[in-house]
Amino acid sequence: MTDARTELATLIREKAIFFGDFTLTSGAHASYYIDLRKVSLDHRVAPLIGDVMVELIADIPDIAAVGGLTMGADPIATAVLHRGVILGKTYDAFVVRKEAKDHGRGKQVEGPDVNGKRVIVLEDTSTTGGSPLKAAEALEREGAIVVAVAVVVDRDTGAREIIEGAGYEYRAALGLEDLGLA
């Protein structure tokens, strides 16, 4: 594990893992919850997330923009945008709303024009794969070419298989073993 990944895993363990009885998006119950917003919105940890995620996707050519379904993906996308610039990458960021706005321009995808552009869907924690797939669907309606889904933490609950089954490459920066949860 790189130094940034090791430090990120440590900070997630210390600040973003909660134990108890939790209901996940899927409706399943879990004895722990990974609340990445506790770290993705922290000024000390967001740069690490950006560094780790930029490293994770750096070998995918010609990526114009990154982002995903609001709210979980938003801080991840901005971290990648900012840290990418430092590393010479020119990733823009986008936000995918759960539904198109019913006012203004009525958009579901906000940010730069993604029509004809290669993009990566980001997610903070992946459980079912539903959020990245919903984002990919909206992006493809806008003409984007979704080339991969990249998540900070994979809960190892089937998201990889579902996303790959839908035809997208799947990458995860950290797994349960990295967080001492396997």
pLDDT in tens, 72-125: 999 999 999 999 999 899 999 999 998 765 655 657 899 999 999 999 999 999
Tell me the pLDDT band of 138, cut-offs 50, 70 and 90: very high
Q: What percent of the chain is modeled with pLDDT above 70? A: 96
CB 93 within 8 Å of CB 111:
yes
Whole-angstrom distance, CA of residue 155 vs CA of residue 124:
11
Whole-angstrom distance, CA of residue 14 vs CA of residue 150:
23
Whole-angstrom distance, CA of residue 47 vs CA of residue 67:
16
CB 7 within 8 Å of CB 42:
no
Average pLDDT of span 3-12: 96
**Does the 3-179 domain belong in CATH 3.40.50.2020?**
yes
**Beta partners for 151?**
123, 172
Sorted by where each begins, the domain ranges of the chain are 3-179
The pTM (predicted TM-score) of the whole model is: 0.94
